[in-house]
């Protein structure tokens, strides 16, 4: 075994094999894969190995599209033969109109990625899959590229090509220790010796946290037992003259595909079982769990009803093996938070179908720093410290039980709720709050008109539409209060703080004491990495001169890694997280100045405390840091309160607000108001696939600035001219918002993609943001939105249609 290499990939399942292969495709040949037993000896060997284009967002569709293209190429390579049943086709069934609308949306989204799906009715489902019944069936979603592949042959083909490019693979080589040198490189200890490397990749499958423990980290990945059986031959299949399409059934929680002249039937039963929570036998290799068909009886009855032919056929073989789930069901692919030169590709519950694309995206991140798509939906940094083993297992069970039931907008499932709360959570509950979840935090979505008020999950505007409108009207005409918990907040100190911040942002950032600024961070490719407010807090009895860096609630680990990795060795910069120590109370509306004046002794006049000012003070007797900033477009104050004083500050504000008509407003109201004001949302409108000029952030970008991260790449992009641009649209529709990922059409040509959509109550317009071709970006340009399979007119309008001169904020 060699003693030095550039990358060590740990794990020889589909994740590790795909990563190794794609690293060689990106030009890195000095790479090694270590496998504790034989290739595919974990979950991969017993995978049902289905390969579909289906994905809940464009990134997932794109990586699956790559998998299919790669697998077709491998299947046609005589040097590494792979059995691939490509284009059998696949159907996802539906028995509600809400599901059918979702399928129509996913079809629109897929079109923007160059993938053609089709929504079909119940009779067409039966025509294409003659074994099914149409009882309790409305229709389905057809993927013409669906199929299945031999997982063992696939992994050997990937590693075979990788070895031909210079990579090396060592089987029967368990890793026993991982130690990091002072320069950030790694020492990998095995039974066969030590190998040093620049970068280590955890592709450990269901042993992911055995590998993670060697790095002193934990990943929110759990394993679930999963059963399928293989039937004896079915006469109808033998007579069909073609292979049966794959079937996935959210109605009865099962799937099936053809296997020889029978079927492979897999189950997602409600009485499901986690696996390996208390450790995994070291000898569990190419092994299975005991059969337990009693557990799937309820699901089997649904499968019998949908496919009556199953009642007449015997079972040839039963498989019960572990598969991995993350805390939200989507894999973790990318840099490991808090660790230098360490990456992971784990939690691939549909590993074979997705693995080709996951390895492709990870290899790009390792070699180039970013992938061609924004990978936040896969980023390990999207979860923070609350994701322990117990919570992960609860969410894994819930995801397993809902395997084929996708999340609707505003749907937050019950498992593991209240993971992060504040002292105000019970108060908000008493006020009939409906909660949304942001990075585990319970945050008010809206205030229900009654305790038993319910919303229907769909892609349309729901029953809360008018409720949210009333919250916004009160903010516009009186004053509202909103709790923003979990907001990311770092305190930056040190004599090099100002120069460090200048280098991190692509535009001018104010360093004036008592002032707040907004700026954007780019990656080395000149693309949007993050958005942050910079608040310059003068020296006081509460502390020395310091800067507060504030960003989106979910960005805590993402931004900390990005900032700390760019501190130069000789720079005196210290960064401390205050994210979990403080909470924001926002008061917004024309009466907000009167409210804050009634509960604080400071002078809050426009002259004494203008927009974008910050001061330390007391709200009642609670210490607070107040900023004159607004995400709503109304006069507003962000009041940052230490968590131990939050309840007292809330009481002071609500008491003062009583005479001014103050009411609680929630996240849905904030989302609507920010779109009316032209404000952008991180990882919706601000993504790594676009640069600041394409995103319309010209006034926050200065190419004359001496130096900032990504400047050279951004200059090159600027010189080549814009190809896409973010625009604001008015959608000619009143029943539904434009969902993210939906395609904009000019005839039969896709010209853009929706990034955000919401009703603008104050302007009475259905608003959307979208990245569109530059030739369609002028104000007044009309096009069509593919909204659930129907074309709806859309027109480009100016950003910030509400109070475009900022008169209400500056009042």
Q: What is the mean pLDDT of residues 765-788?
A: 98
pLDDT at 116 exceeding the cut of 90: yes
744-765: pLDDT as tens digits: 999 999 999 999 999 999 999 9
479/448 Cα distance (integer angstroms) = 18
Nearest-CA neighbor of 728 among 701, 763, 688, 703?
A: 763
Mean pLDDT value across the chain:
97
CA dist 709 → 565, 685, 722 (Å): 12, 20, 20
Pick from 657, 543, 535, 668: nearest CA to 594: 657
577 falls in which pLDDT band (50, 70, 90)? very high
- What pLDDT score does 385 carry? 86
Distance CA 751, CA 127 (A): 34
Kindly report, residue by residue over 648-686, the tens digit of the pLDDT: 999 999 999 999 999 999 999 999 999 999 999 999 999
Give the C-alpha separation, 770 to 766, whole Å: 13
Mean pLDDT, residues 334-338: 97
Residue 283: exposure state from Cβ atoms within 10 A (0-12, 13-18, ≥19): exposed
Residue 148 above 90 pLDDT?
yes
Instruction: Give the H/E segment covering residue 646.
Output: helix 646-657
Whole-number Å distance between alpha carbons of 411 and 437: 10
**Local confidence band at 213 (pLDDT 50, 70, 90 cut-offs):** very high
Beta strands 765-773 and 749-760: pairing type? Answer: antiparallel
pLDDT of 241: 86
DSSP code of 485?
A: T
Q: What is the mean pLDDT of residues 605-634?
A: 98
Q: What is the pLDDT of residues 59-94, one digit of tens each?
A: 999 999 999 999 999 999 999 999 999 999 999 999
Measure the CA–CA gap between 418 and 425, rounded to whole angstroms: 9
pLDDT tens digits, one per residue of 716-752: 999 999 999 999 999 999 999 999 999 999 999 999 9
Q: At CA 585, angle to CA 582 and CA 590, rounded to 5? A: 155
Q: What is the mean pLDDT of residues 331-350?
A: 97
On the question of pLDDT at 552 being above 90, the answer is yes
Q: Are 59 and 377 in contact (CB under 8 A)?
A: yes
H or E stretch covering 517? strand 516-522
CA atoms of 35 and 56, how far apart (whole Å): 32
Who's near 208: CB < 8 A, 6+ residues apart? Answer: 202, 219, 221, 324, 344, 346, 347
The pTM of the full predicted model, rounded to 2 decimals, is 0.97
- Torsion angles phi and psi, residue 168, rounded to 5: -125, 145
C-alpha distances in Å from residue 798, one per residue of 158, 675, 766, 768 = 49, 12, 14, 11
Q: Residue 213: which of 176, 170, 172 has the closest Cα? A: 176
Alpha-carbon distance 186 to 171, whole Å? Answer: 20
DSSP string, 425-466: HHHHHHTTEEEEEETTEEEEEEE-SSTT-----SSS--TTHH
Beta strands, E only, 220-376 = 221-231, 246-249, 254-259, 262-267, 274-275, 315-326, 332-335, 342-346
Residue 785 pLDDT more than 90? yes
- Residue 502 clears pLDDT 90, i.e. is over it: yes
């Amino acid at each position: 075994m060699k003693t030095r290499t550039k990358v060590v990939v740990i794990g020889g399942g589909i994740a590790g094999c795909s990563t190794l292969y794609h690293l060689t495709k990106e030009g890195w040949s000095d790479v090694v894969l270590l496998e504790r037993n034989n290739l595919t000896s974990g979950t991969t060997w017993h995978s049902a190995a289905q390969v579909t284009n289906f994905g809940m967002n464009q990134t997932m569709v794109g990586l699956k599209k790559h998998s299919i293209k790669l697998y077709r190429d491998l299947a046609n390579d005589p040097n590494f033969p792979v059995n691939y049943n490509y284009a059998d086709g696949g159907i996802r069934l539906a028995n509600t109109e809400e599901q059918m609308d979702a399928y129509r949306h996913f079809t629109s989204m897929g079109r923007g990625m160059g993938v053609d799906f089709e929504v079909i009715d119940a009779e067409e489902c039966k025509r294409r899959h003659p074994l099914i019944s149409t009882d309790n069936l409305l229709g389905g979603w057809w993927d013409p590229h669906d199929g299945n592949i031999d997982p063992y042959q696939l992994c050997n083909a990937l590693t075979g090509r990788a070895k031909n490019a210079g990579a090396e693979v060592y089987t029967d080589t368990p890793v026993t220790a991982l130690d990091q040198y002072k320069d950030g490189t790694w020492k990998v200890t095995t039974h066969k010796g030590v190998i040093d490397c620049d970068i280590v990749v955890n592709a450990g499958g269901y042993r992911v946290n055995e590998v993670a423990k060697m790095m002193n980290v934990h990943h929110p990945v759990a394993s679930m037992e999963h059963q399928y059986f293989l039937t004896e031959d079915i006469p109808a299949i033998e007579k069909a003259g073609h292979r049966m399409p794959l079937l996935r059934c959210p109605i009865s929680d099962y799937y099936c595909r053809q296997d020889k002249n029978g079927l492979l039937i897999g189950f997602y039963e409600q009485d499901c079982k986690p696996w390996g929570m208390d450790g995994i036998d070291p000898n569990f290799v190419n092994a299975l769990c005991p059969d337990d068909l009693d557990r799937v009886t309820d699901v089997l009855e649904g499968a019998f009803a949908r496919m009556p032919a199953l009642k007449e056929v015997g079972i040839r073989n039963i498989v019960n093996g572990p598969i991995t789930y993350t805390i939200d069901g989507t894999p973790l692919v990318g840099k490991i938070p808090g660790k230098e030169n360490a990456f992971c590709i784990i939690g691939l519950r549909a590993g074979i179908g997705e693995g080709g694309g996951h390895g492709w995206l990870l290899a790009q991140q390792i070699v180039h720093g970013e992938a061609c798509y924004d990978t936040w939906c896969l980023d390990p940094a999207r979860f923070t410290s609350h994701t322990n083993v117990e919570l992960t297992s609860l969410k894994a069970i819930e995801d397993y039980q809902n395997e084929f039931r996708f999340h609707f907008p505003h749907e937050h499932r019950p498992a593991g709720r209240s993971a992060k709360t504040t002292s105000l959570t019970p108060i908000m509950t008493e006020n009939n709050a409906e909660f949304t979840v942001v990075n585990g935090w319970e945050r008010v979505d809206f205030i229900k008109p009654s305790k038993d008020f319910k919303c229907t999950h769909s892609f349309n505007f729901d029953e809360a539409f008018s409720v949210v409108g009333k919250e916004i009207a009160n903010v516009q005409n009186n004053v509202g209060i909103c709790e923003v918990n979990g907001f990311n907040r770092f305190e930056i100190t040190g004599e090099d703080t100002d120069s460090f911040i200048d280098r991190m942002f692509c535009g001018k950032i104010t360093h004036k004491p008592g002032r707040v600024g907004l700026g954007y961070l780019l990656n080395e490719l000149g693309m949007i990495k993050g958005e942050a407010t910079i608040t310059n807090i003068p020296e006081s009895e509460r502390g020395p001169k310091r800067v507060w860096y504030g960003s989106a609630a979910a960005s805590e680990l993402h931004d900390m890694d990005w900032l700390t990795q760019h501190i130069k060795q000789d720079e005196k910069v210290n960064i401390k997280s205050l994210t979990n120590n403080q909470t924001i109370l926002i008061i917004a509306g024309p009466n907000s100045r009167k409210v804050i004046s009634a509960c604080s002794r400071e002078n809050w006049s426009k002259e004494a405390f203008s927009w974008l000012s910050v001061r330390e003070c007391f709200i009642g007797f609670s210490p607070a840091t107040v900023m004159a900033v607004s995400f709503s477009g109304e006069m507003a104050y962000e009041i940052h309160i230490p968590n131990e004083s939050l309840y007292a500050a809330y009481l002071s504000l609500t008491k003062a607000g009583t005479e001014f008509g103050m009411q609680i407003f929630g996240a849905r109201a904030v989302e609507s108001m920010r779109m009316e004001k032209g404000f952008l949302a991180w990882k919706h409108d601000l993504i790594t696939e676009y640069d600041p000029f394409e995103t319309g952030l010209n006034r926050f970008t200065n190419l004359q600035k001496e130096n900032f991260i990504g400047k050279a790449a951004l200059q090159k992009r600027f010189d080549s001219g814009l190809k896409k641009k973010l625009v604001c649209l008015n959608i000619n529709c009143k029943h539904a918002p434009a969902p993210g990922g939906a395609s904009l059409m000019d005839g039969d040509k896709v010209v853009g993609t929706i990034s955000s959509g919401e009703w603008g109550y104050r302007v009475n317009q259905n608003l959307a943001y979208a990245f569109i071709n530059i030739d369609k970006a002028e104000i007044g340009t009309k096009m069509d939105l593919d909204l659930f399979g129907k074309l709806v007119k859309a027109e480009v309008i100016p950003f910030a249609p509400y109070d475009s001169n900022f008169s209400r904020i500056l009042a």
